[in-house]
Amino acid sequence: MNQKEQLEQIRAAAEEILQKTGSLEELDAARVRFLGKKGELTAVLKTMGSLSPEERPAVGQAANTVREQIAAAIEKKTAELKAKAQDAKLLRETIDVTLPGEAVDIGHKHPLSSVLDEVKEIFMGMGFDVRQGPEVEWDYYNFEALNIPKGHPARDTQDTFYITENMLLRTQTSGCQIRVMENQKPPIRIIAPGRVFRSDAVDATHSPIFHQIEGMVVDEGVTMGDLVGTLDTFAKRLYGEDTRIRLRPHHFPFTEPSCEIDVSCFKCGGKGCSMCKNEGWIEILGGGMVHPKVLENGGIDPEKYSGFAFGIGLERLVMFKYGLDDMRMLYENDVRFLNQF
Ligand code: DAH
C-alpha cells in the first residue's frame, strides 16, 4: 500500500470512528490515535523519506488535507456532544415554577412568656426595674430572712426540695426582696420574676415547678395606699379599664399587715360565672407592708423607711386571661394547644 492509499485508509477509519463516537472521552482518544505525535498520520509522514523529491509535495499535501479533514470532523463532533450534554443538563435541572412552595412553620412565644412580657412592660411603665434571683437558694434567703425561722408553721405549707440542710430549690421568689435590699439603698422599686419549686403532685392546679413575680417598693413614707394604687393600675392595664381590685386580710410572715388581692372577674364583670366559680372575684396575688424585721434583715432602717411587697402567680394570670382550666396544658408543649396563642 503506498502512502496515498494509507492516507485514504486513515481518513476512512477516522470517519467511521467519529460517526460512532458518543462521548468526549472517546473523541479525545480518536484525536490521539489519528492526529497525535505518535498517531497514525505522523507514522505515514515518517515514511516520506522513501519517496522521490517529485512525489513528496503531492503526498505531503494529501496528508495535510486528511489532517485538516479529521481535525474539522473532531471539532464538529465535539461541538455536537457538548450541546447534547448541555441540553441533557438543562432538562435535568428544569424547575417547575408553578409548583406550590413549602410552608415554613414560624414559632412564637409561649403564653407564659408573652403574659410575663406584658406584666414586665406594665411595671416598667410605672418605673420598676426587673431583677432575678437564683433558683438554688440558701435557706436563709428563702425562709430565715423573711421572718420564717426553723420550726415556723409557714414552712410546712411550702413543701420544700432540700439540697443540703441549708440549701434548697427556692419555694418562692420572695427571697429576692432580701437580695435586692442587700445591694441597693432606697428608693427601691423592683419586680423579680422566676421559677419556683415545691414538692407538689401534678394536677389541674398544681405543679412542682411554677412561676412567681415578686414585687417590692421601699422608700420613705410608702403606705398601703401605694400598694392599692400600684396593683389597681396593674390590674386595669392587664385585664382592662373596667377591672376593680379588692383586698382581703390574710397572713404572711414577711408582711404586716398582709392581704390577698382579688380582681373582678373580667369574663362576667363581677356578676358571677363559671370562670370565677360564681364569686365575681378571682384571687391573683398576695401582698402587704414589708415587715420591719424583713427590712432590718435587708440592712434597711425600718424607722426611716417603709415598703410594700407582693407576689403574683404567673400561671394563674395566664389561665384566667385565656380561660384555661388545666395548668398542665402550659407545660406539655402540645403544638395543637400552643398554636392557638
Ligand atoms: N411568697 C408568697 C407565696 O409564695 C407570695 C407573697 C405574698 C409574696 C405576700 C409577697 C407578699 O411579696 O408580700 O405564697
Which DSSP string do the residues of 163-228 spell out, in sequence order? SSSSEEE-S-TTHHHHHHHHH-PSSEEEEEEEEEE-----BTTB-SEEEEEEEEEEETT--HHHHH
Tell me what pLDDT residue 70 has: 86
What pTM was computed for the model? 0.71
Pocket test for ligand 1, best of 174, 200, 216, 217 (most atoms within 8 A of CB): 174
Residue from 248, 252, 235, 234 nearest 289 by CA: 252
Q: Between 155 and 149, where is the model more confident? A: 149
- The span from the CA of 263 to the CA of 200, in Å, is 26
Q: Is the pLDDT of residue 16 over 80?
A: yes
Residue from 269, 263, 274 nearest 237 by CA: 263
List % helix, strand, coil for the chain (3-state, nearest 5).
45, 20, 35
Pocket test for ligand 1, best of 181, 209, 228, 310 (most atoms within 8 A of CB): 310
Tell me what pLDDT residue 173 has: 98
Tell me what pLDDT residue 2 has: 82
Q: Stretch 326-337: mean pLDDT, rounded?
A: 91
Q: Is the pLDDT of residue 332 over 80?
A: yes
Query: Grid cell 434571683 — which residue?
Result: 133
Residue 288 Cβ inside 6 Å of ligand 1? The answer reads: yes
Tell me what pLDDT residue 289 has: 98
CB 286 within 8 A of CB 172: no
Tell me what pLDDT residue 133 has: 96
Nearest CA to ligand 1 atom 13: 287
Q: Is the pLDDT of residue 204 over 90?
A: no
Nearest CA to ligand 1 atom 8: 311
Neighbour tally for 184: CB within 10 Å? 16
Query: Grid cell 460512532 — which residue?
Result: 20
Q: Between 13 and 142, where is the model more confident? A: 142
Q: Is the pLDDT of residue 225 over 80?
A: yes
Question: Ligand 1, closest atom to CA 158?
Answer: 4
Tell me what pLDDT residue 124 has: 98
The pLDDT confidence band at residue 174, using thresholds 50, 70 and 90, is: very high
- The span from the CA of 239 to the CA of 317, in Å, is 10
Residue from 62, 51, 49, 58 nearest 6 by CA: 62
What are the tens digits of pLDDT across the range 260-296?
999 998 888 888 888 888 999 999 999 999 999 999 9
Nearest CA to ligand 1 atom 5: 311
Residue 175 Cβ inside 6 Å of ligand 1? The answer reads: no
Q: Provide φ and ψ at 206, rounded to 5°.
A: -130, 145
Q: Is the pLDDT of residue 157 over 80?
A: no
DSSP one-letter code for 165: S
Q: Is the pLDDT of residue 52 over 90?
A: no
> Taking the CA atoms of the chain, what radius of gyration do you get in angstroms?
45
